Structure formats: structure tokens, C-alpha cells
Amino acid sequence: MMDTLNIGLIGAGRIGKVHAATLAYRIPAAKLLAVADIDAAAAQQLADQFKIPRATAHYRDVLSDPAIDAVLICSGTDTHARFTIEAAQAGKHIFCEKPIAHSLAEIDQALAAVHKAGVKLQVGFNRRFDANFRRVHDAIRRGEIGQPALLHIVSRDPAPPPIAYIQVSGGMFLDMTIHDFDMARFLIGAEVEEVYTQAGVTVDPGIGAAGDVDTAVIMLKFANGVIGTIDNCRRASYGYDQRVEVFGSLGAVSTMNNYPNAAVLSDGASVRRDLPLNFFMERYTESFAAELIAFVHAVLHDTPVPVTGRDARAPVVMGLAAAKSLHERRPVRLSEIAADDER
């Protein structure tokens, strides 16, 4: 059993910086040996900031380094599947940001390479590691609310992303709702069989012109009979809105938004508090750290990773089904997506 996990980071952007900080300051059993980014200056800046021994513009420099045991893939989505395949072939354990790809065929190729190489793959669905959502998950597993019947997820961003991002993101269902699809499976502990989507453009006409939607409600039918709804919008004027409720035969469990403080101001006109934490970098800080701690532990102790390739594939299937439902104006069974992919 290894005592220290030597890691290489591919991608020096926003999430790469978050993971570099976690590895540098919060996981003594991990050592970040190299960072690669197509922007050599960005890689060097990150290396200087966190005292990473090596910076390079070439990701293969990381994959070919025999001292590196595992890689973090934090590059653009269009590179994830290819980098995962090459990392597996190089014998590296892999932590890859979501999604592996927008295509099921590409995902399956990546998962096949991981299986053939016998390396571990964990995918970055960080919200599973959030303390609030974890408590909801545990309440359901322990039977505290009896048999679940209804799930409601509210997920609204404070502001829409740039149109340039919309044009390459794969659409709202694969770049935003994908987290909620994963959370639905995680909380209920069953597969979704059918989805039905109602969606439109209420925030920015430019999003519609780019071929996407910015506001949606998606109904889920689970294999165990639970009915779920996901409520999404790309703009919430009051900040990042992240709430969940699960209703069951013995009660309900819910979690509200996180705030920068617990102060409540009361006067003769109103009772009020400060706005919730503004976006995912603030709201999910601890969950980003927790998922990496879990990955390092799984590799060092040869235990299963908590978010598998199968977990990574399922939300993409759900996202493709949601888009198909919207386009065809009908409920879509997930089995139809697998059939589409085979044709």
C-alpha cells in the first residue's frame, strides 16, 4: 500500500486551481508533482502559486511521467474522454471532471479503456459530498422518512453564462441539470426510467438563438415508483438557489440554501437576512475538497471510488432524454436513448 499519492493535474483553469489548493493544503497524503495546460503561462502561474515542481504546456508530459500515480483531468469537456483513455493506457488512476463526454459512445470507449487498464476512475459530481445533501441521503437510507414518494430539486444559477459557453456546453441539460440528475439518483438510490420536460427561454433571448433553453421543469419517474421534479433556471436575482426536499411515508427531509452568516435582522418593516452564497465556488467549497479526499483514500487503500463510471454515464443518458422529450413534446423512456445510440 502506498503512503503518498503522486498526482499530475491537467487543466489550470478555475476548477484546476480549486483542486490544486486542496492538494497543496488539505491532503497530506497527496503530492502534486506537475501541472499541464495548453496555456503554458497559466500552468506556470499555478505551479508558482502552489509550489508544484513542474509546469508544462503538454498533457502527455504528465501522462508519461513514471513518478505520477494519478491524474486530475480538469481541462475542457471536449478533451475528457480522450485524456481519460490515454491516462488509463498510461496506467494512471483518474479523477475526471464531469461529464466524461456528451456522447455515450465516447463515454463507453473511455470506460472500456479504464476497465481494461484496471485503474480507478472517479468523476467529479461534487454535490454528493456536500454536508446538506449527504444528510438528506443518509435520512433516506436509514428509513427516517419511511418510503420515499416525492423528490423535488431546485437548482437556479445567479446569472447565465456567456453565450460563447452556451454554444459549446452541450445545452443546459448536460452542463447544468446534469448535477441534478446525478443528485436525483444519489438521493433516491434507484434508476430513473422516464423523463418529461417543459422548458423555454425566459432569461436571455440570446440563449434561445444559440439553440438552448434557460428555464425548465423536468419530471422523473423512478424504477421504484418515486416521482421527482427538477426546477432549473439560469438566473435567480437573489443568488445561487440550491434546495432539495424528499417526502416519504413517515415524514420529509429537506435542505435549504447556505448563507454567509446566520444573522437575521428584524425591525418594524421586515424580517430579513443576507442573500445566499452567490455561486458554486462559494457554495460547494467543502464538497470539492471532500471529493478529492475520497479519491486519494480510494487509491491509497484500494477501495471503491464513491462516484463510478456508471454514475457518470447515467446523468448523460438522462440529459439526452430530457432534450429529446422537449424536442418531441412527450415523455421519453431512458431505454430509448440507448436504442438511439446503437443506431
pLDDT, tens only, 54-76? 999 999 999 999 999 999 999 99
DSSP code, position 213: -
| pLDDT for 283 | 78
User: pTM for the complete prediction?
Assistant: 0.94
Which CATH class for the 128-283+315-342 domain?
alpha beta
User: Helix, strand, coil proportions of the chain in percent (round to 5)?
Assistant: 40, 25, 35
Low-confidence residues in the chain, pLDDT < 50: 342-343
Q: Is residue 233 a contact partner of residue 217, using CB atoms and an 8 Å limit? A: no
Q: What's the pLDDT at 336?
A: 96
Domain ranges of the chain: 5-119, 128-283+315-342
Residue 1 is predicted with a pLDDT of 65
Domain topology for 5-119: Rossmann fold (3.40.50)
The per-residue pLDDT for 284 is 86
Question: Packing angle between helix 309-328 and helix 104-117, nearest 10 degrees?
Answer: 170
Grid coordinates in use for 139? 435520512
Predicted local distance difference test score (pLDDT) of residue 343: 40
How many Å separate Cα 88 from the centre of its chain?
Answer: 21
> Nearest-CA neighbor of 234 among 270, 205, 273, 268?
205
> End-to-end alpha-carbon separation of the chain, Å?
45
pLDDT of residue 340: 53
Q: What number of other Cβ atoms are within 10 A of residue 76's Cβ? A: 13
